[in-house]
Each structure stands twice: as structure tokens, then as C-alpha cells.
Amino acid sequence: MQFIGIIPARYHSRRFPGKPLAMIRGKSMIQRVYEQSGKCSALNELVVATDDQRIYDHVTAFGKAVMTDRNHPSGTDRCLEAFYRINTDNTYSDNDGVINIQGDEPFVDPEQIDQVIHQLKKPNKNIVTLVKKIDREDNLRNPNVVKVVFTASGRALYFSRLPIPYVGGTGAMKETGEPATHYRHLGLYGFRAGTLQQIVSLPVGALEDAEKLEQLRWLQQDFEIYVEETYVESIAIDTPEDLEKVL
């Protein structure tokens, strides 16, 4: 089984235009993501999928990039187009893995990519992602921190921007002050290539429309998403204020 890492990177972010080219201690954000991801030896190939010539020119100075359409509704759609553009010689089959690596996590741990790949190798696991236990009240109540509940075998049941599961009375932490069992979703995904092609063609469903979370479209259409717990903290840069915190 082969694995290709794809880093979606668009220029026109609503909250932070030009974010992939923002400098962090002498290197651009996208270069840091690329270099960190490249430390994962399980990846057969690594590429940035962008919609902007400035990002493309910047990345090709140190790595590999492909141009994609500007009008993709999500990074998942951009990953699929990039996969098609890279796979014109059919190097990869439908059973091979596509790893969607977030372009705004400059300190992504290569072991987390390994973790996703390890799970994706297992039979009948076609979509794999990571979760981390929530230990702060502000993260639990932040709608930008996506929460997830899952079965004992790691199959995701639901994702939400609200605190789930609900804890009686407060809907948040236990009265003892100890955190209830809440998990947040990290945006690193692994797909079998054939499954990626299927989910991109699905229509938007009521759950996705309500929560504005595309993974709910897949769950509602009976695609199984398996989660794996990570203990490594992930830092996402969503706004210029987030960038200031890591400089």
C-alpha cells in the first residue's frame, strides 16, 4: 500500500488572507508544514495543492506543488483534484492512501501522520482521523473547536461544534473540576483513494448544513470514520492573532 501526502493551501482565507506565506521564525508557514510532513518516512510522495501562483512558485523552490481550481468548497475536494493531477500515470490505485495534511499547522508532528497511516493500513478502515482529549473549558465551549464522540472500537458517531457528550446541569465539566470525557477533532485525515472519490461526489446533507462540518455528510451517507487518539498537542494558525502567539 502506497501513501501520498497532500497539503491543501489556498491564498484567499477569509480570516487570514495569504496565510500559507506568513513567516514564522524565518520560514513560511507552508514550508514548515511541508518540512515537518516530509519527516514521515511512510509517505511515498508529498505535494502542496494550491490555487495561487504565488504559493505555487514559493513551494516549488523547496518542494513539489500542483495548481488546482480556485472554486473548491473544501480542502477535501482540492485533495482529490490534486490526486488526479498527480496520478495521471496510475501510480496509485484506489486502495492506496491519500493523507490530507492541514496547511495551517506548521508544527505538525510526523508521528501523527504515521499514526493515521498505520490505522489506514488495517482492513475495512477507509477514513481515519485523529482526536485529542479536551482538558480546557474554553476549548470545550469554543465552536471553532470541533468535538467528537465515538464507539469503543473508534468508529465516530457524531461531530459537533457544541459540547458533546452533554454533562447534566452545565453541559461541560464535572462538578469535581475534573474534565469529563470530551474529545476534539484534529483535521488530519487519511482516505483510501477510492473512498475519497466517493465522498467528494456526495450531496450536502441536513447535518452538514446545520453544523457546517463536511464529515457529517459522510456519516449521514453511511461512510465509517475511524478515530485514533493522539497525545500530541496540535497548533493551528487560523488568524493573525494566532500567528502572534507562536512568533
- pLDDT tens for 183-232 read 999 999 999 999 999 999 999 999 999 999 999 999 999 999 999 999 99
Give 136-191 pLDDT, tens digit per residue: 888 888 898 999 999 999 999 999 999 999 886 554 555 455 546 899 999 999 99
pTM of the model: 0.92
Beta bridge partners of 132: 184
Cell of 212: 457546517
Phi and psi, residue 49, nearest 5°:
-105, 110
Rounded distance between C-alpha atoms, residue 138 and residue 145, angstroms? 9
Rounded distance between C-alpha atoms, residue 61 and residue 38, angstroms? 15
Beta bridge partners of 45: 4
| Helix, strand or coil, per DSSP, at residue 232 | coil
pLDDT mean across residues, the chain: 91
CA distances from 209 to 70, 90, 217 (A): 22, 35, 9
Q: Go through the domains of the chain in sequence order and give each one's CATH number.
A: 3-130+185-234 (3.90.550.10)
Would strands 45-50 and 65-67 be described as parallel, antiparallel, or unpaired? parallel
